[in-house]
Amino acid sequence: MPGPTMQAVDAYIVGKLLTPDPALDAALERNTSAGLPAIDVSAAQGKMLHLLARMAGARRILEVGTLGGYSTIWLARALPPGGQLVTLELDPHHAETARANIAAAGLADRVDVRIGPASDTLDAMIAAKEAPFDLVFIDADKEGNVVYLKAALALARPGTTILVDNVVREGGVLDAASDDPMILGTRALFDAVAGEPRLDATAVQTVGAKPWDGFLLAIVNG
């Protein structure tokens, strides 16, 4: 778990660089009231996602794993007029909560919440030849990481940014003998990215309000 100093640094960052945000606060409150797990990205991480989407000039964003829509709101706010975010959620209750949060944030017109197993939804999107996405954020079941990565590549273009959350797992990613499906899925992700010539990637560790973890960041080569 994050220590008091790490939490205090995160609070300092948020206090200095982020402004109060009633819509995001209300989303977290609604998630808690709806019984959703408290596994959203932190506020500082959400702002990072927002800035990365703006840096990428993203007009189309794909999110795999909606939960209650907290990260969805951060990402959707980065879209220019006419932009679209497609977010995939397995659990209908989570999706219903996310839709309420997204609507309350005034973003319903630019966010498409699709319900069902993400692998099935992604297959349908590929079959339908949907337009490529400029940024993909993967934050769903870790066992599916490689499937989601391959689908992201099929729905990408040269220059697409791909972000994957929870790739350190408090150091568990180092455990080659682990039988934890989440660690197995994370290690398989690293192997898949390392063996994929279309990707240029790195990963960064994170600490703070959330436990020790990290993000994988990649860009699709030309």
Domain boundaries of the chain, sorted by first residue: 4-220
Q: State mean pLDDT over 120-135.
A: 98
Residue 175 has pLDDT above 70, yes or no: yes
Query: Distance between CA 65 and CA 78 in Å, rounded?
Result: 18
What are the tens digits of pLDDT across the range 12-61?
Answer: 999 999 999 999 999 999 999 999 999 999 999 999 999 999 999 999 99
The whole model's pTM is what?
Answer: 0.96
Q: Please give the pLDDT value at position 140.
A: 98
Residue 161 belongs to what H/E stretch? strand 161-165
Q: How distant, in Å, are the alpha carbons of 46, 90, 169, 179 from that of 40? A: 9, 16, 15, 25
pLDDT band at residue 165 using 50, 70 and 90 as cut-offs:
very high
Per-residue burial over 174-192, b if 16 or more Cβ lie within 10 Å, else e, is: eeeeeeeebbbbbbbbbeb
Q: Please give the pLDDT value at position 222.
A: 85
Residue 3 has pLDDT above 80, yes or no: no
The third-level CATH classification (topology) of the domain covering 4-220 is Rossmann fold (3.40.50)
